[in-house]
Structure 1
């Protein structure tokens, strides 16, 4: 597969991986969602589909629409689409991508029936799809007969450790919950690379739904490197990371350092008299913890920081290190578990 870079939107990373930007740059998406075409020849695997920007379709088309040889003129461009997790900026482009793949096939006029791609995603437990997810509406808008469904679902369920063999390369699935419960990574042995979606980014730090799961997944990714060697990371946002294991370890250490800061704060008296009469222990709220840790930062950053601190507190509560004394959100009251 030969491609040209189009204003930086299409980049060949290796003989088997081409990165195509989702055309949705922003504060949280960095230069945009990275989608990946994987494979040495047709049919390829497409990893993620962007959020559905109209500008993405012609860019993806340019990456796929390369000169055909007599050997692959009657082979579909993409046999499988893997969705890394349910967030819209990774799955929202699915309807337009499926329409594109059908159009590209019809334009060849092979006279052969179209074989729609299979769609793959790690399953979520029943009723665990967050209310803010657009996935149901995205599924409802998929073009008719544009994909090959599983026996009882739109998606084929991915499994942890599953080997996903394409016509020209091998992928291994690694379930890495934390950013979302259905987040996965993909190991690409031929590139000695790990596609990390939003679990580890090319720049900055990632957000997460469940910190306990998230740290466990980061450690799982490091352990995985001992058995299935990888050097680089292909993230869902940002540039390729050359020292993959080092960055993952940095992510872990950053979270542990923040946890240590929180515990140090909880061992001190709160900034105003506020004592739980039943236990006599000092009561800190999420907001007062934030104000202490982030006192050197502009207050405009405190509100987004409070979400992260609350997730840290929930992890510490699950670990039995702190206990919740009441309240909600930034007003949630916490104290060290004195029974330890």
Structure 2
């Protein structure tokens, strides 16, 4: 018995040491009030810290860079105007316009070229899903860039105000859009479900406000704040004319959105490239949700399905604990389904 305990402890330490990959600019905050169901269970969010936090390592431990030339952090005014005009002509929201505040915001992002390199890597995983959901809701595809401003494409990040997930839903708004929150899981952390919720919320805001600048402002500051500002200033319907009346964060929000649109379309012209491999080994379309009939341990599934524990955690960020009760669903790679089905009875016996 003592030997088994020692082996379990050694394995636990080994798992934790192995889960080190790339860094993301916002620190992760640990979820509070989570019930520890078993001393052998691992708090899933701590694993996320280990999985996505690392100074200069990727999932493979190697840097990825196509170009060692110094990033070009400045852009000529006329050239920037031309490029923004080109993007705005293609845009469905028609707010990608030049001014000095936007110019400063763009150059601020360009100075963070390593951060942009990481975002590019993560976008390979998230953007195809974002674009599909936005298209399903008949929303402009460039709204996908909001997730960069909100969370740096980190599906479990928590703000000081309590907003959580890749689209930064507050608990109350999340519940309105059917994102369940309890001591076992938080669906604000689920990239797919939270993207569905974000699309519905953006659709609601546009129907209510009818102006994309103010819709984005409302996403940041709340529709109530925007309504009050518009009611007090009925003669001015332009965001930039009303800039001083918005909270400081919202004043920067629209310039950031325009800036990240520019940077994500023109990063190569500024000698910015991927610096790290994406931590996501599987694309979302290569995965499937499997119903769980009995309580399971993610660690146990990872071992028996021959899948990295960190990959399983990355695919299931909504779970706050390692032991998942029956009646839930687990996202697995499609290439593991045959193995899952062949071992399903074995899993049920082990977990009863």
Tell me the TM-score normalised to structure 2 length: 0.21
Question: Which structure carries more relative contact order (alpha carbon 8 Å, separation 6+)?
Answer: 2
Structure that is richer in helix per residue? 2
Structure that is richer in strand per residue? 1
Tell me the TM-score normalised to structure 1 length: 0.21
